[in-house]
Amino acid sequence: MSALGHSLVEDPLLRTAEQAEAIGTALLDCIGRTPLIRLTHVAPEFSNIEFYAKAEWFNPGGSVKDRAALAMIREGERSGTLRSGKTILDATSGNTGIAYAMIGAAKRYPVTLCLPESASHERKRILRAFGAELLFTPADEGSDGAIRLAQKLYAADPARYFYADQYSNPANWRAHYETTAAEIWEQTRGRITHFCAGLGTTGTFTGITRRLKELNPQIRCTSLQPDSGFHGLEGWKHMASAIVPRIWDPSLADDNLFIRTEDAYRTLKLLARVEGLLVSPSSAGAFAGCLAVAMQIPRGERAVIVTVFPDSADKYLSERFWEDEEESAT
């Protein structure tokens, strides 16, 4: 054999098909195990408190919703309610829809999504890129309008659809009970003292809180929601004026705080300019909640506050809230 021929045979980059199958990671296996980032500069006045956030944009679909969407789809397959020939259907404000669309493309399921017309331009483009069918509802109806449309479509043709129903599906919160909470506990080495998260489907807060309370009942868990039904925290629900998700259990929360959209927007810019983190309004709202919790902790008391940053800013960069007040006025 020539020297050239020998080098080709021995080249580690040239593998047999069987060997190649063992290289790399399947897309859906990349969901979960996201970093826990320590925020060190944004709140120096709280020298007794450590702040941490789960960076959920490290999921392949770009948000925390990858976890729940995968769990609901796998449960549908296990139960037989989702099988070849059926279309995944649900209402979404955007992120869960992106997760469905990504997973549906990977698993060869068509996806139909109902979402408010107010969903960000970037989210709509991402959903279309994955091949999802989009059905828009009036912006002023929020996620509730999308829910009603999804229910109507399913009732009219149940044989066609697998209606994931993220607001009622227990697999939603179980995904966080089994994965996100376990990761937080491990990454903080069990030192977590407080947990905060925003309420949308309520799956993230419900699942994480249930598991953390089992691991340590002394952990204080605070749910966060917008301070009114008209707000700019996409994905969050103002429970008093919205359709309350069936998976929500208000008894889980030790405290409930209301977050102003304006405070979230200010925190969003602060995180970008002080921590170098470009996050979404809902992520910034979650950290605004952490700061509110920190203010209630006595100065001499040590604390470890953890929250979830559902996604980054990449789906919101066209929004006007990034502009300074002086720029907006021109």
Condensed to tens digits (0 to 9), the pLDDT of residues 249-263 reads 999 999 999 999 999
What phi and psi, each to the nearest 5 degrees, are found at residue 275? -105, -15
315 labelled catalytic = no
Q: What is the pLDDT of residues 178-227, one digit of tens each?
A: 999 999 999 999 999 999 999 999 999 999 999 999 999 999 999 999 99
Instruction: Report residue 76: phi and psi, to 5°.
Output: -60, -40
How confident is residue 282, by pLDDT bands cut at 50, 70 and 90? very high
- Edge-to-edge strand list for the sheet holding 49-55: 36-39, 49-55, 303-309, 194-198, 220-226, 255-259
pLDDT for 60 beyond 60:
yes
From residue 49, give the alpha-carbon distance in Å to each of 166, 181, 223, 258.
34, 20, 19, 21
Kindly name the residue from 54, 65, 237, 315 that is annotated as catalytic. 65
Q: Which of 248, 263, 251, 249 is nearest to 295 (CA)?
A: 263
Known catalytic membership, residue 65: yes
Q: Is 241 in a helix, a strand, or coil?
A: helix
How many of the other CB atoms lie within 10 Å of CB of 170?
16
pLDDT above 80: residue 59:
yes
Domains located in the chain, CATH noted: 27-59+180-322 (3.40.50.1100), 65-163 (3.40.50.1100)
CA distance 168 to 32: 22
Q: Can you tell me the distance from the alpha carbon of 145 to that of 200, in angstroms, rounded to the nearest whole number?
A: 14
Return the SS3 of 150.
helix
Structure tokens given for 120: 């960000």
List the catalytic residue out of 120, 223, 282, 283. 282
Q: How many CB atoms lie within 10 A of CB 151?
A: 15
Please give the Cα distance from 178 to 214 (Å, whole number).
Answer: 12
- Provide the b/e sequence for 70-101 (b: ≥16 CB within 10 Å): bbbbbbbeeeeebeeebbbbbbbbbbbbbbbb
pLDDT of the residue at 118: 87
pLDDT at site 253: 98
